[in-house]
Amino acid sequence: GAVVSQHPSRVICKSGTSVKIECRSLDFQATTMFWYRQFPKQSLMLMATSNEGSKATYEQGVEKDKFLINHASLTLSTLTVTSAHPEDSSFYICSAHSGGSSTDTQYFGPGTRLTVL
């Protein structure tokens, strides 16, 4: 299957700082990328949908000014957690869709474990 990378895999930061997470599709062009977060023992919750060259669409309850998403190219999307607080500590996972109506399969990155002290 297609490969999606995420960087960093783990980050620890102080409260009030900003953290940027990168998501790259390595062997295909991703017209759409998705950002999810997962709390311990819970399922993945969609945060936002990111289309290349346009503004991200955020799910209800997700603050767009806090979770900045940039999808500057067909292979890269970034999520910046601004002014992070301990409650933002979570597992953040991106996924990429190659486009086209023939498949709904998304390929997931390995995730980023964010810990805010």
Give the nearer residue to another protein in terms of CB position, either 13 or 45. Answer: 45
> Which residues have a Cβ under 8 Å from the Cβ of 37 and sit 6 or more positions away?
44, 45, 47, 90, 91, 92, 93
Burial 19-54 (b: 16+ CB within 10 A, else e): bebbbbbeebebbbbbbbbeeeeeeeeebbbbbbee
Shortest distance in whole angstroms from residue 97 CB to another protein: 5
**Applying CB under 8 A, does 16 fall inside the site for another protein?**
no
**Applying CB under 8 A, does 108 fall inside the site for another protein?**
yes
Point out which span in 11-19, 67-75, 81-89, 93-101 binds another protein (CB under 8 A): 93-101
Give the nearer residue to another protein in terms of CB position, either 28 or 108. Answer: 108
Which residue type sits at 14?
A: K
Q: Tell me which residues touch another protein (CB under 8 A).
A: 1, 6, 32, 34, 42-46, 49, 93, 95, 97, 103-111
